[in-house]
Structure 1
């Protein structure tokens, strides 16, 4: 389940009209949410508040052998219009599961200033500042987001910790989203790492919408099949360590206009390490999704298989509401009421099992999880934990 500050940051991206899914870094995000969800460890309590539309705070207290915690604060120049009470936030906005991608949009001004320069509306360059102090280690995290233009976002993340080389590190990422394609350039003070990423979407080009509304046939077959094919790659190099790496990947995902079950397929390759990974995720219904991942190394011939699922028990609407809704759209696309909770489960070929139940209990949000290792007969139970969150 998303922490409150991550929920606020997601709202900043949404209200500033930044598409987080149009990036090579999010190529396998659906499989990651369904298979690599974190399992709570120990007991942890989160108390958060959105005291105004521009300011949020959060406090965490945990116990895992030793008592620890954190203090975090966030400020944004963009007034956020989101529900903040834990009893009012839609559970689907907090639990990361199958992600249905939408049609590409042309980058536009998120908040015009009311003035026009060179024939274009000037944009308020909204920013977000976030800081978090971990106790008792005194580790400090900081984040700065800045919408430089409708198609550009600057992200600077910092960590200060005496246990790290040089006492900490800074990561700067410049993201460009032009709809049809996106690029990212990054630099990290840790080993002077330099990197770049890129993603290209075949088919529909949101920069030239008139081509697709003037009666001309689609230029690619994916335009009329309700799906999108994307290809991307990344490369990074450290001049200090004289080492680097590259990877490339493909993704095909259905869009909301697809008439069948939504599904997403990905294929990624790291040629230097010889790692090949393929995933397939399908939303089998409004309340059920499955995912599988196959990893193979061409050098060692080692392979791993993992499968997972998520189940959303929902409050059943009345007979009249259900009938009226079913007349408007197919069953798997009907308007869904909020869920009672979500159950996630994974298992791999090594006998490792993960279970996670996330739900709302009156005014509280609760996450309860456990990990098992079926190959260890004497000690199958691994990590067990519970997290309780309250926000106002």
Structure 2
């Protein structure tokens, strides 16, 4: 879970149109978020107050072996207007998870207003730890629309010369990014670069496309420590795409360090709106050591309110004992029945679905059949609300039925049927761009607009023989994060708790 200061820093990057996914250090960000997530130790309380759109302060208290904490301040010259507190923040923005690489961000440089061209945004951040005299600071200064200067400083008596400083000169162009780095530790010089391949605008539409919006990124980093005269080198490859039939994104990465003989490959896929799976394989060609790691991320939907909650309460006094009141209750329950049946037909391909959707009116019969209240919100489109004044009743085969007027209904999304069957029936006709883009847009909208109440993460690896579990959820106006790490004792080979803790975060 991000601290609120980290969340504000990400909001600053969005406000200044800075693409964090186009940085070499974030090539494997998804796998790190799903496999190497930190487990809290002890009890922690984090309280943040954002006084204005430009200024925020934070206090942290931690009880781990001893009571200690920190005070932090953040200032942004660019107004952070879209920030929210822990009461209204979405879990998608509060935690590190699957990162979707957007190809359209590679099409053209980000456009800024004329005011931003004259006054370059900047961010100042500082944190003081107590008890003790440790201090950390960070400065971000936009030099141009595509270039920024990042300075990080740490002052700690336990470090060599009481501290260190790292300077980054970053250029983030839609097609590539470059970083020049200098660290006072051992006079370390570094250079990073990342290049993106692939044209977002398709030159030609294939007959049977299965993947679309693909982005290939290749990068490398070079290091040289002047004092110890030791070099460093690594390279990485990232392939990100989306399925046109389901809209689900996936990312594959391959990174290697030829000096140490280490190679690592990851595969990350968002299997549904609320679930993500990640796997990682490490191998060293010098020692022939290998390791396989697996992780997952599972969101839990918030309990939805009743479909006709507003209508039932607004007509409670007038129609509580009449036919309209009973009709609304039955209509809400029958509508869930129809949605669940529609989902089953989409999955199994029953032909009755097409006959039912082809009717001009929706008829709901009485008596009411038992219904299943579990709805897959990642595949269903929200139905239009019915106006009780427009509902009418009549009898069909001596049964009471309610009829809705012929109102255009939002089409159920079944991209597999729309795309695959179209290709089999018309193999010589290319697919329309709007048709192939529907599934991806619908899936992205569902992910961004879904209201989640909690998320659970888990990871394990064969060589470490350790299992990590992390739960993040809401408790009133707080964000709560708790986790546990369980491993095997080296001597007795019995399971034991390595780390356990809970964190309460409150921001207003």
In the TM superposition, residue 83 of structure 1 has moved relative to its aligned partner by 3.4
In the TM superposition, residue 334 of structure 1 has moved relative to its aligned partner by 4.7
Alignment check: 8 A CA contact 1:16 1:111 kept: no
User: What is the 5 A alignment of 1:185-334?
Assistant: 185-204=180-199, 212=201, 216-217=203-204, 225-255=212-242, 259-315=246-302, 317=304, 318=307, 319=336, 322-324=381-383, 327=412, 330=439, 332-334=443-445
Q: Would the alpha carbon gap of residues 71 and 327 (structure 1) be closer, same or farther in structure 2, given more than 3 Å must change? A: same
Q: Would the alpha carbon gap of residues 98 and 244 (structure 1) be closer, same or farther in structure 2, given more than 3 Å must change? A: same
Question: Which protein has the larger Cα radius of gyration, Structure 1 or Structure 2?
Answer: 2
Name 2:73's counterpart in structure 1: 73
User: What is the 5 A alignment of 1:1-392?
Assistant: 1-103=1-103, 104-105=105-106, 106-113=108-115, 122-204=117-199, 212=201, 216-217=203-204, 225-255=212-242, 259-315=246-302, 317=304, 318=307, 319=336, 322-324=381-383, 327=412, 330=439, 332-335=443-446, 336-349=449-462, 350-374=464-488, 377-378=493-494, 380-392=496-508
| TM-score (normalised: structure 2) | 0.70
Q: Distance in 2 between matches of 1:57 and 1:256?
A: 43
Identify which range, 260-269 or 302-311, moves more after superposition: 260-269
Which of the pair is proportionally richer in helix?
A: 2
Q: Would the alpha carbon gap of residues 388 and 178 (structure 1) be closer, same or farther in structure 2, given more than 3 Å must change? A: same
Q: Distance in 2 between matches of 1:110 and 1:170?
A: 31
Name 1:118's counterpart in structure 2: none
Q: Distance in 2 between matches of 1:127 and 1:371?
A: 39
Q: Distance in 1 between matches of 2:148 and 2:56?
A: 22
* Coordinate RMSD, CA, aligned: 2.3
Secondary structure at the counterpart of residue 21 of structure 2: coil
Alignment check: 8 A CA contact 1:111 1:124 kept: no
In the TM superposition, residue 285 of structure 1 has moved relative to its aligned partner by 0.2
Q: Distance in 1 between matches of 2:134 and 2:495?
A: 33
Q: Would the alpha carbon gap of residues 332 and 316 (structure 1) be closer, same or farther in structure 2, given more than 3 Å must change? A: farther
In the TM superposition, residue 379 of structure 1 has moved relative to its aligned partner by 5.1
| TM-score (normalised: structure 1) | 0.90
Identify which range, 74-83 or 7-16, moves more after superposition: 74-83
Q: Would the alpha carbon gap of residues 169 and 181 (structure 1) be closer, same or farther in structure 2, given more than 3 Å must change? A: same
Deviations 1:3-35 (A, max 9, x none): 000000000000100001001111101101110
Structure 2: unaligned runs, 5 residues or longer: 308-335, 340-379, 384-409, 414-437
Secondary structure at the counterpart of residue 78 of structure 2: coil
Q: Distance in 1 between matches of 2:132 and 2:46?
A: 18
Structure 1: unaligned runs, 5 residues or longer: 114-120, 206-211
Q: Would the alpha carbon gap of residues 391 and 126 (structure 1) be closer, same or farther in structure 2, given more than 3 Å must change? A: same
Q: Distance in 2 between matches of 1:333 and 1:109?
A: 23
In the TM superposition, residue 338 of structure 1 has moved relative to its aligned partner by 1.7
> Matched residue pairs, number?
374
In the TM superposition, residue 90 of structure 1 has moved relative to its aligned partner by 1.3
Which of the pair is proportionally richer in strand?
A: 1
Alignment check: 8 A CA contact 1:78 1:127 kept: yes
Moved over 6 A (4+): none
Q: Would the alpha carbon gap of residues 332 and 71 (structure 1) be closer, same or farther in structure 2, given more than 3 Å must change? A: same
Secondary structure at the counterpart of residue 450 of structure 2: coil
Q: Distance in 2 between matches of 1:366 and 1:110?
A: 37
In the TM superposition, residue 234 of structure 1 has moved relative to its aligned partner by 0.4
Alignment check: 8 A CA contact 1:102 1:255 kept: no
Secondary structure at the counterpart of residue 260 of structure 2: coil
In the TM superposition, residue 299 of structure 1 has moved relative to its aligned partner by 0.2
Q: Distance in 2 between matches of 1:257 and 1:50?
A: 41
Secondary structure at the counterpart of residue 2 of structure 1: coil
Secondary structure at the counterpart of residue 52 of structure 1: coil
In the TM superposition, residue 340 of structure 1 has moved relative to its aligned partner by 0.9
